Structure 1
Amino acid sequence: MLIRPATAADWPAIWPFFRDIVDAGETYAYPPDLTSEAARALWTAEPPGTTVVAVGEDGEVLGSARSGPNRPGRGAHVATASFMVAPAAAGRGVGRALGEHVLAWARGEGYRSMQFNAVVETNTAAVRLWRSLGFRILTTVPEAFDHPRHGYVGLHVMWREL
């Protein structure tokens, strides 16, 4: 698997799984009626951020991540990131590879730590992955996410030093 910077030519491959993940309503609070153009604007990070894709041996885009400063100004030394893996690529290590890549990128860019602001507590695979990569749950905001099956569930704020 190759992880490389995303290009404009990658968006047609990202958009279908982005749309499916957002429409499922289980892990992202993005509105379900996003157009492709609006979604691209949300997902494509401008410098100092980055957007990357994980590409399989056959050239298929398996997932994507975006990272950059969590806050502007005096909070810009803390990175954040978001990840999406194509459902067909689940269980193949794509999320872990993207996570490791983004952590290395943030470290190389001089960030001091990384914070995830909104990890849905029922997304146990993601919580398990982030914990295995050194993140810890700092707090859980109760009932901050309206899950389509579980109702109102918490959002974890997760953090790790770089």
Structure 2
Amino acid sequence: MLIKEATAADWQTIWPFFHRIVAAGDTFTFPPDLGEEEGRDWWLLSPPDRTVIAVDDAGTVLGSAKMNRNQKGNGSHIASASYMVDPEHGGHGVGRALVEHTLEWARAAGFRGMQFNAVVETNELAVKLYESLGFEVIGTVPEGFRHPTRGHVGLHIMYRAL
């Protein structure tokens, strides 16, 4: 698997799984009816922030990650990131590789930590992955996420020092 910088041309391969994941409404705080142009603007970030894709040997896009400062100004020393793995390619280490890549990027860029602001507590695979890579739940917003089938569930804030 190769992780490389995403380009505007890559959006056409990201959009199908991005749309599927967002429309499901069970893991991201994005509006489920988010349109393609707005989604592209939210996902494909400009430097110094970054968006990457993970591809296999055949060039198939397996997933994507975006990484950025969590806050501006005096909070800009903490990074953040978001991940989407094409459901067709889940369970094969793509998510882990993307998280490890973003952690390496954040360290190299001089960030002191990485914070995830909105991890849906029912997204147990993601929570377990992040914890296995050293992240801790530092707080949970009770009923902070309106899950389409489980109702109002908690929204974790997760952190890891770098």
TM-score norm. by structure 1 comes to: 0.99
Give every structure 1 segment of 4 or more consecutive aligned residues whose post-TM-superposition deviation is greater than 2 Å. none
Equivalent in the alignment of 2:144:
144
Equivalent in the alignment of 1:73:
73
Percent pairwise identity: 59
Deviations 1:76-109 (A, max 9, x none): 0000000000000000100000000000000000
Separation of aligned partners in 2, 1:74 and 1:14:
33
Separation of aligned partners in 1, 2:104 and 2:72:
21
Any gaps of 5 or more consecutive residues in structure 1? Answer: none
Shift of 1:29: 1.2
Separation of aligned partners in 2, 1:47 and 1:72:
14
TM-score norm. by structure 2 comes to: 0.99
Write out aligned runs for 1:1-162 (5 A). Answer: 1-162=1-162
Q: Across the two proteins, how many residue pairs are aligned to each other? A: 162
Any gaps of 5 or more consecutive residues in structure 2? Answer: none
Separation of aligned partners in 2, 1:113 and 1:46:
21
Separation of aligned partners in 2, 1:27 and 1:35:
17
Shift of 1:151: 0.3
Separation of aligned partners in 2, 1:152 and 1:39:
24
Separation of aligned partners in 1, 2:158 and 2:125:
14
